[in-house]
C-alpha cells in the first residue's frame, strides 16, 4: 500500500535522538550506504521491484529483525550464524548508528540494514523468502487508544506472514504483559502456531539469546521478559 494511502500511524516512536554524536554521524555517512539491502524507498523504487535476495546473500537463508534497537542481538546472530544473511529494519537513526559501530567492531559481513518503516521493506521482499523473523522489545504503546499502532496487528502481521517461508520461526520478546496478551491473540490469527508446551518455553530465553539493552532496563525496573516462539503454517 503506498504511503499516501496508508493509515497515518507508526508502530515506532521518534526517529532521531536529541543529540547525535559526531562519531555516529561519521559512521552513518561512511558505512550505511554499503550495507543497504537494495532499493526500498518509494522515491528510488516506485515500481516496488522485489529485492534480489539470491544476489544479496548468495543463496543463504535470510532472517529479518524488525526494530533492532541498538543492534546487540542482530550482530550476535550474525557472528553465530555466518551461513545466514540477516536484514535489519530500524527507523530510529541513533540505533542504526549504534549497530554500524558494532558491525565494525565485530567484523561481520552478513548483515544488511534498512533505516526506515518495515512496511516499505515488506513491499519489496519476495513471497516466502524469509526463514526466521525477530520482534524484540517493540514499542509497547501502553495507552489503549494506541494499541492499533503495535506491530502485532493485521497491518503488519499479514505482510510478515506473506514473506515468511512455511515453517519459518517468528520470535517475539517483550516485558509488557498486555503486549503478550495481544501477541497471543493476534499472531495465531495470521497463520502462525504458538510452540510453547510448558511455562519455561516463554519464561526462559532462547538458547542462542543475548540480552539487549532494553531487556536489561526491564530487569532493572522489575519487569519480567517473555519469550514467545511461533511457527508459520
Q: Which residues belong to the active site?
A: 139
Query: Cα separation of 111 and 34, whole Å?
Result: 10
Q: Where are the beta strands (DSSP E) in 80-221?
A: 84-89, 111-114, 130-136, 164-174, 192-194
Distance CA 131, CA 151 (A): 19
* Strand 130-136 to 164-174 pairing: parallel
Q: For the chain, what's the residue count?
A: 233
Q: How many CA atoms lie within 13 A of 199 on its CB side?
A: 0
Terminal Cα-to-Cα distance of the chain (whole angstroms): 24
d(C-alpha 46, C-alpha 34), whole Å: 21
Going through 76-128 in order, the beta strands assigned E by DSSP cover: 84-89, 111-114
Indicate the pairing of strand 226-232 with strand 164-174: antiparallel
DSSP structure class, residue 34:
G
Amino acid at each position: 500500500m503506498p504511503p499516501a494511502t496508508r493509515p497515518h500511524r507508526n508502530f515506532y516512536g521518534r526517529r532521531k535522538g536529541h543529540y547525535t554524536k559526531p562519531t555516529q554521524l561519521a559512521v552513518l555517512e561512511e558505512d550505511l550506504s554499503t550495507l543497504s539491502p537494495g532499493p526500498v524507498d518509494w522515491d528510488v523504487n516506485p515500481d516496488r521491484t522485489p529485492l534480489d535476495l539470491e544476489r544479496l546473500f548468495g543463496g543463504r537463508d535470510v532472517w529479518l529483525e524488525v526494530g533492532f534497537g541498538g543492534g546487540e542481538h542482530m550482530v550476535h546472530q550474525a557472528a553465530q550464524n555466518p551461513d545466514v544473511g540477516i536484514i535489519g529494519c530500524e527507523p530510529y537513526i541513533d540505533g542504526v548508528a549504534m549497530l554500524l559501530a558494532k558491525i565494525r567492531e565485530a567484523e561481520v559481513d552478513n548483515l544488511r540494514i534498512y533505516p526506515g518503516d518495515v512496511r516499505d521493506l515488506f513491499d519489496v521482499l519476495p513471497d516466502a523468502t524469509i526463514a526466521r523473523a525477530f520482534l524484540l522489545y517493540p514499542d509497547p504503546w501502553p495507552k489503549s487508544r494506541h494499541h492499533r499502532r503495535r506491530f502485532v496487528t493485521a497491518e503488519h502481521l499479514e505482510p510478515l506472514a506473506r514473506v515468511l517461508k512455511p515453517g519459518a520461526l517468528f520470535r517475539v520478546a517483550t516485558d509488557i504483559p498486555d503486549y503478550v496478551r495481544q501477541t497471543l491473540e493476534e499472531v495465531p490469527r495470521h497463520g502462525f502456531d504458538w510452540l510453547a508446551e510448558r511455562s519455561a518455553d516463554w519464561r526462559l530465553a532462547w538458547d542462542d539469546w543475548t540480552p539487549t539493552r532494553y531487556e536489561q532496563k526491564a530487569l532493572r525496573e522489575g519487569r519480567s521478559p517473555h519469550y514467545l516462539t511461533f511457527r508459520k503454517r
